Amino acid sequence: MNVLVINCGSSSLKFQLINSDTEAVLAKGLCERIGIDGSLTYQPAGGEKVKSAKAMPTHTEAIQFVIDALTDAQTGVVKSLDEIGAVGHRVVHGGEKFASSVVITEEVKAAIEECNDLAPLHNPANLIGIDACEKLMPGTPQVAVFDTAFHQTMPEKAYMYGLPYRYYDEYKVRRYGFHGTSHSFVSKRAAEFLGVSYDATKTIVCHLGNGASVCAVLNGKSVDTSMGLTPLEGLVMGTRSGDIDPAIMEFIAKKEGLDIDGLMKVLNKESGVYGLSDGVSSDFRDLSAAAEAGQKPAQIALQVFAYKVAKYVGSYAAAMNGVDNIVFTAGIGENDGAIRKEVCSYLGFLGIEIDDTANAKRGEEVVISTPDSKVKVLVIPTNEELAIARETVALL
Ligand code: ADP
């Protein structure tokens, strides 16, 4: 079956058409600036990537352009919509309502909408994408795959904040965690790759991309993760601060005359390694170059990032009373051997030793620890689209 995987943002839409039998990507692309002017980037497998301007007042036009491209006589990869068996949607927040993926119905849409205030930028966009697909592909089954679902197995002690209980009772203020599709995919794949039983292994996944989080996976279940009610908590990220003393907000608000929106913008968009490096970049390639050129703020940004990842790994080893495998994934985790090495330099107490030759490899599944290392350290490239396609087919 061919599955159209859709990741809908407020003004963008990423897509992949995946043949679920061969798991080959037939075509992929991106609609950008929806509601502004609009462009479609489209690339069929083995073909050229083409970007063209297209007027996209709403997501419905965007999805129509995607369908047109996929079925185009020259560059298309299917003859008609009949060859698309299902649509899998990435949905950011499922709150406590969804502990796994679901086939989308009117009730499911209503439940996703009830989670809108937990992810006001993302969930409404995800719903718009679902509605647009329903309109343009009536009768094609659609599945929602939630970023939060994998973490619904976290115990109360991991997800409750030290806040008045009624905030949880009344508003569901608790830790949810994100990147669940990636943490689940990567931890499972690591066990397969190592030939160990997923149900009897302790894994810590470091998903280090522009957004970054660490997850403790005990016997195949998420028991703790570093993001919280929102993706702002936890690691120092590209532009997000991660954990800070909450009283800093009042302090800075008074100093700089900021309101709550202004503060949130600082914490989400102007902090992290970007802020720490004094605005050099949020991209680790630029940061490494600046650090090598002797720029102190970039050096500090990289050190703070790695130190924080190591501290989370250490705390999750405590949470699980041990760890068998540590897995690096996503843009930084898959590509930046220096960061992996630095993170692991704090973890000698776990009996970890890194093999520098293996750690120099890029973009492949590889064990980067030495044969003697007490804990296996691996790189496993994540593939959230494939995970969504698999979930979609499994449900149908
Ligand atoms: P997201 O999906 O959260 O946007 P990705 O997982 O694609 O992020 O990761 C993007 C980040 O990965 C970039 O901002 C950059 O910091 C890092 N990255 C990508 N390629 C490399 C590389 N070759 N070396 C170091 N860092 C890289």
Residues whose CB falls within 8 Å of the CB of residue 113, separated by 6 or more in sequence, listed in order? 123, 127
Residue 39's CB: how many other CB atoms inside 10 A?
19
In angstroms, the CA 34 to CA 181 distance is 26
The tens digit of pLDDT for each residue in 257-278 reads 999 999 999 999 999 999 999 9
Per-residue pLDDT, 251: 98
Taking each helix axis as running N to C, give the angle between helix 296-319 and helix 284-292, from 0 to 180 degrees, rounded to the nearest 10.
120
Considering only CA atoms, which of 227, 212, 218 is closest in space to residue 159? Answer: 227
Residue from 205, 210, 292, 309 to probe ligand 1 pocket by mutation (most atoms less than 8 Å from CB) = 210
In angstroms, the CA 136 to CA 218 distance is 42
In angstroms, the CA 356 to CA 163 distance is 45
pLDDT surpasses 90 at 362? no
User: CB of 57 within 8 A of CB of 35?
Assistant: yes
The tens digit of pLDDT for each residue in 99-151 reads 999 999 999 999 999 999 888 888 999 999 999 999 999 999 999 999 999 99
Q: What are the phi and psi torsion angles at 61 (to 5°)?
A: -65, -40
**Exposed, middle or buried, 348 (CB in 10 Å: 0-12/13-18/19+)?**
exposed
pLDDT surpasses 90 at 241? yes
Q: What three-state secondary structure class fits 233?
A: coil
**How far, in Å, from the CA of 278 to the mean position of ligand 1?**
19
In angstroms, the CA 126 to CA 109 distance is 10
The tens digit of pLDDT for each residue in 39-94 reads 999 999 999 999 999 999 999 999 999 999 999 999 999 999 999 999 999 999 99
Looking at ligand 1, which atom is closest to the CA of residue 339? 25
pLDDT class of 33 with cuts at 50, 70, 90: very high
How much of the chain exceeds pLDDT 70, in percent? Answer: 100
Looking at ligand 1, which atom is closest to the CA of residue 286? 16
Q: Which two tokens stand for residue 356?
A: 């520098």
pLDDT surpasses 90 at 384? yes
Question: Which residues line the pocket of ligand 1, CB cutoff 6 A?
Answer: 209-211, 238, 282-285, 330-332, 335-336
What is the chain's alpha carbon radius of gyration, rounded to the nearest angstrom?
A: 21
Mean pLDDT of the chain: 96
**Exposed, middle or buried, 55 (CB in 10 Å: 0-12/13-18/19+)?**
exposed
Residues whose CB falls within 8 Å of the CB of residue 40, separated by 6 or more in sequence, listed in order? 29, 30, 31, 51, 52, 54, 56, 62, 65, 66, 69
Residue type, 244: I
Residue type, 216: A
Whose C-alpha lies nearest to ligand 1, atom 19? 331
Task: Please tell me which residue in 37, 147, 199, 283 is annotated as part of the active site.
Answer: 147
**How far, in Å, from the CA of 175 to the mean position of ligand 1?**
25
In angstroms, the CA 327 to CA 25 distance is 25
The whole-angstrom distance between residue 109's C-alpha and the CA centroid of its chain comes to: 22
In angstroms, the CA 11 to CA 15 distance is 14
**Exposed, middle or buried, 22 (CB in 10 Å: 0-12/13-18/19+)?**
exposed
Considering only CA atoms, which of 195, 203, 206, 207 is closest in space to residue 219? Answer: 203
The whole-angstrom distance between residue 351's C-alpha and the CA centroid of its chain comes to: 29
Q: What three-state secondary structure class fits 282?
A: coil
Residues whose CB falls within 8 Å of the CB of residue 157, separated by 6 or more in sequence, listed in order? none
**How far, in Å, from the CA of 330 to the mean position of ligand 1?**
7
324 carries an active-site annotation:
no
pLDDT surpasses 90 at 366? yes
In angstroms, the CA 71 to CA 83 distance is 9
Looking at ligand 1, which atom is closest to the CA of residue 211? 3
**How far, in Å, from the CA of 336 to the mean position of ligand 1?**
9
The tens digit of pLDDT for each residue in 184-215 reads 999 999 999 999 999 999 999 999 999 999 99
Residue from 281, 332, 336 to probe ligand 1 pocket by mutation (most atoms less than 8 Å from CB) = 332
Whose C-alpha lies nearest to ligand 1, atom 7? 331
Write the DSSP symbol of residue 283. S
Looking at ligand 1, which atom is closest to the CA of residue 207? 6
Per-residue pLDDT, 120: 86
Q: Residues 102, 172, 119, 285: is their CA dihedral positive or negative?
A: negative
Residues whose CB falls within 8 Å of the CB of residue 370, separated by 6 or more in sequence, listed in order? 353, 354, 355
**How far, in Å, from the CA of 334 to the mean position of ligand 1?**
8
pLDDT surpasses 90 at 9? no
Per-residue pLDDT, 65: 96
Q: Residues 329, 335, 341, 343: is their CA dihedral positive or negative?
A: negative
Terminal-to-terminal C-alpha distance of the chain:
11
Looking at ligand 1, which atom is closest to the CA of residue 210? 3
Per-residue pLDDT, 363: 82
Per-residue pLDDT, 121: 83
Residue from 16, 335, 340 to probe ligand 1 pocket by mutation (most atoms less than 8 Å from CB) = 335
What number of CA atoms fall less than 13 Å from residue 36's CA on the CB side?
Answer: 10
Q: What are the phi and psi torsion angles at 90 (to 5°)?
A: -80, 125
In angstroms, the CA 190 to CA 384 distance is 15
**How far, in Å, from the CA of 380 to the mean position of ligand 1?**
14
